[in-house]
């Protein structure tokens, strides 16, 4: 059983930065690609980023490419999402999930989700 717990969300001004963390537990942690998706009020879930189990390959939504960076530290059982140049449209609850993959414009997130951490970008 894989358990995921997000942290690091909060209120930030436009142009600011936040780093989200996803702490994982479970003996199969290292086997999974892990990613982030977000959901804003009244909007559909949106894939944000995904990183392979080795950390050797990453994917990003076009809306965050160049501003967000996903990384993982398998020794600490943690995946990070560094978010820079934040915009009001980045406001959402951010969830980490496993496994994850991307095929063109379609994202897949598997059965393991955290409870989410809210991010609000506002002046």
Question: Which DSSP string corresponds to 80-120?
Answer: EEEE-S--GGG-EEEEEEEEEEEETTEEEEEEEE---EEEE
- How far apart CA 82 and CA 40 sit, in angstroms, is 19
Residue 35: count of CB within 10 angstroms of its CB? 30
Q: In the chain, which residues have pLDDT < 50? A: none
pLDDT value of position 83: 98
pLDDT value of position 40: 96
Chain centroid to Cα 105, Å, comes to 17
- How far apart CA 85 and CA 100 sit, in angstroms, is 25
pLDDT value of position 27: 65
pLDDT value of position 116: 97
**Residues in contact with 9: Cβ distance below 8 Å, sequence separation at least 6, in sequence order:** 18, 20, 93, 94, 117, 118, 119
């Amino acid at each position: 059983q894989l358990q995921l717990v997000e942290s690091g969300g909060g209120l930030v001004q436009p142009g600011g930065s936040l780093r989200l963390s996803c702490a994982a537990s479970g003996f199969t942690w290292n086997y999974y690609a892990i990613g982030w998706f977000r959901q804003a009020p009244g909007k559909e879930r949106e894939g944000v980023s995904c990183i392979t189990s080795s950390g050797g390959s990453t994917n990003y939504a076009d809306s965050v490419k160049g501003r967000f960076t996903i990384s993982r530290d398998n020794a600490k059982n943690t995946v990070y999402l560094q978010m820079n140049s934040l915009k009001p449209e980045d406001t959402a609850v951010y969830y980490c999930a496993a496994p994850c993959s991307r095929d063109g414009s379609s994202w897949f997130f598997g059965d393991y989700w955290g409870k989410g951490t809210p991010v609000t970008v506002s002046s």
